[in-house]
Copies of this chain bind each other. A is one copy, B any other.
Amino acid sequence: METRKALGELLAHQKRIDRLAAAGGILFWDEQVNLPPGSAEFRAEQNAHFSELLHRESTLPEVGRWLDALEAGQDALSEDECVIVKDARREYDREVKLPGEFVARRSKARSESFHAWVEARRNNDFASFAPHLQKALDFARQEAEYQGAEDPYDFFVDVYDPGMSTAVIDPLFAELREGLKPILETILAAEDTIPPDLFRGFPVDGQEAFLREVVTAFGFDFNVGRLDRAVHPFCGGHPLDTRMTTRYDPDNPLDSLSSAMHETGHALYEQGLPAEHPGTALSRAAGMAAHESQSRIWENQVGRGRPFWKHWEPRYRAFFKEQLAGVDSDQLYRAVNRVAITPIRVDADEVTYNLHIILRYGLERDLFAARVAIADLPEAWNERSRDLLGYTPESDAEGCLQDVHWCEGMFGYFPSYTLGNLLGAQFWYAAKDALPDLEADFGRGDYKRLLGWLRENVHSAARRYDANGLARRVTGNQLGTEALLRYLRERYLPLYSA
């Protein structure tokens, strides 16, 4: 087959798959945001059939033939076209090894497992969830076997972050843990001056109105996106129809705000990806570490900084005059940056957050290696929590039942969060170096230079580079712990020193 013709066919196919996958994204969003309580099983069936259909479309035999032709005619392809072909080959080869009925069964099991997990967490009942978790692990092992993966866990790490592996992560996480120790010790030795019930009774409508102003200022495009309420904040949909969610608690307004800024970081990345060749490596995110780097920069480096609050504090006070009457500016800033041991990862501050990830990373590996059995997970979790955080969960609901990931078969995803923190801090210093007096912009509520820099350096690169490649290209350095540790020291030690 003629190379240009094969490329044309492949591009049309990738675009089609992109559109269909986006339809699946709307179904997922709808399930999280709108699904009537009694419709869960029905939706699980829909998801299963839809997954199977999408799988069949992705693995049509002609796709393999186009890829063969393109690989044979590689000399006639541009560098970017080779990137497209290489990534399409990777995805096709993985999909084609999975039987359609396996994909359908797995999809159904995931939906069931999700709803079982919601129940189990609500009732603090690990035993009822254990069979579902076992099934999720079995599905993952079976998938790795279909793939002929040498190391099943490494296979999944690579799914979320192409090129990443435990061999890269292990030393990074070990170094990070060591580096965090003295920072955390200093912080915990200092007196926590923030009263625990500082924020009470923030009307949800006001919270939403305020954070819509913030995410609009960051650059989220509401013309092709939405922000809704869901139990679990996430950013889904597609660059051309982006669906963010957050949740609101009248007594914990900073949580909604930082969740929304976090999801906006994801959304800005998606909305900043080049749209020219949808579904190909030229319009897909580099990987989940890169994705999390974007969410973290907006949530943390921007959203927890003094310049951000310099601009937004008056507006926040305008929305919540009464509620903030007894809170001075310094207290507000300290509350935003409060560090404390907490059992729940999603509530964790920037410093302890990575310890939560290291805990899960170790456990995932042990589950895959059968060093920890499902039945022993609660105890193994609690033991690691003592070791890493010095805290024993009071229940499985605040222990091994707290996260949604495993119930949906997302093993190997957790490391991306910390890799994203590393990468985000590296990007942050690179941006500050490149953009003189960057944070002064934030003091005026202006994020255009930062967003422009991220678009130019990170978003527009799409999937051309892996996490490490992106780090080298944008910052001149490998992925490492230095930038994050520097950032944490600069941000937190002044707040917690005597």
Instruction: Assess the A20–B36 pair: CB atoms within 8 A.
Output: no
A291 within 8 A of B: no
Interface residues of chain A: helix, strand, loop or mixed (majority): helix
> CA–CA, A19 to B223, complex, Å?
31
- Look across to chain B and name the residue whose beta carbon is closest to the beta carbon of A275: B42
A49 CB contact (under 8 Å) in B19, B30, B34:
B19
Find chain B residues with CB under 8 A from A238 CB: 42
A22 CB contact (under 8 Å) in B23, B26, B46, B223:
B46
A226 within 8 A of B: yes
Instruction: Assess the B49–A20 pair: CB atoms within 8 A.
Output: yes
- For residue A351, give the distance in angstroms from its CB to the closest CB of chain B: 37
Find chain B residues with CB under 8 A from A38 CB: 221, 223-224, 240
- Look across to chain B and name the residue whose beta carbon is closest to the beta carbon of A37: B223
A-B contact pairs, 5 of them (CB 8 A): A16-B49, A23-B23, A26-B27, A36-B242, A38-B221
Instruction: Assess the A224–B36 pair: CB atoms within 8 A.
Output: yes
- For residue A46, give the distance in angstroms from its CB to the closest CB of chain B: 5
A241 CB contact (under 8 Å) in B16, B23, B36:
B36
List CB contacts (< 8 Å) of A18-47 with chain B: 19-20, 22-23, 26-27, 30, 34-39, 42-43, 45-46
> CA–CA, A46 to B241, complex, Å?
11
- Look across to chain B and name the residue whose beta carbon is closest to the beta carbon of A50: B23
- Look across to chain B and name the residue whose beta carbon is closest to the beta carbon of A239: B42
Interface residues on A, range: 20 to 34
A204 within 8 A of B: no
Find chain B residues with CB under 8 A from A35 CB: 241
Instruction: Assess the B23–A224 pair: CB atoms within 8 A.
Output: no
Instruction: Assess the A42–B240 pair: CB atoms within 8 A.
Output: yes
- For residue A208, give the distance in angstroms from its CB to the closest CB of chain B: 16
> CA–CA, A226 to B43, complex, Å?
15
Instruction: Assess the A222–B20 pair: CB atoms within 8 A.
Output: no
Instruction: Assess the A53–B49 pair: CB atoms within 8 A.
Output: no
Find chain B residues with CB under 8 A from A241 CB: 35-36, 39, 42-43
A225 within 8 A of B: yes
Find chain B residues with CB under 8 A from A27 CB: 23, 26-27
A57 within 8 A of B: yes
List CB contacts (< 8 Å) of A232-254 with chain B: 238, 240-242
Per-position 1/0 for A176-218, Cβ under 8 A of B: 0000000000000000000000000000000000000000000
> CA–CA, A45 to B279, complex, Å?
14
Given contacts A36-B222, A38-B223, 20 further A-B contacts (CB under 8 A): A19-B49, A20-B46, A20-B50, A23-B27, A23-B46, A26-B30, A26-B46, A27-B27, A30-B30, A34-B226, A36-B223, A36-B224, A36-B241, A36-B242, A37-B223, A39-B241, A42-B224, A42-B241, A43-B241, A53-B53
- Look across to chain B and name the residue whose beta carbon is closest to the beta carbon of A25: B46
- For residue A242, give the distance in angstroms from its CB to the closest CB of chain B: 8
Instruction: Assess the A45–B19 pair: CB atoms within 8 A.
Output: yes
- For residue A168, give the distance in angstroms from its CB to the closest CB of chain B: 37
A26 CB contact (under 8 Å) in B20, B26, B222:
B26
- Look across to chain B and name the residue whose beta carbon is closest to the beta carbon of A24: B23
- For residue A2, give the distance in angstroms from its CB to the closest CB of chain B: 22
Find chain B residues with CB under 8 A from A34 CB: 226
* Central interface residue in A27, A37, A42, A238, by most chain B CB within 10 Å: A42
Find chain B residues with CB under 8 A from A226 CB: 34, 36
Find chain B residues with CB under 8 A from A36 CB: 222-226, 241-242
> CA–CA, A49 to B17, complex, Å?
9
> CA–CA, A39 to B240, complex, Å?
6
Q: Would you list the 9 A-B pairs with minimal beta carbon distance, nearest first?
A: A38-B223, A42-B240, A39-B241, A38-B224, A23-B46, A19-B46, A19-B49, A19-B45, A36-B224
Find chain B residues with CB under 8 A from A39 CB: 224, 240-241
Find chain B residues with CB under 8 A from A223 CB: 36-38
> CA–CA, A242 to B36, complex, Å?
9
List CB contacts (< 8 Å) of A297-322 with chain B: none
List CB contacts (< 8 Å) of A447-472 with chain B: none
- For residue A238, give the distance in angstroms from its CB to the closest CB of chain B: 7
- Look across to chain B and name the residue whose beta carbon is closest to the beta carbon of A22: B46
List CB contacts (< 8 Å) of A52-83 with chain B: 53, 57
- For residue A19, give the distance in angstroms from its CB to the closest CB of chain B: 5
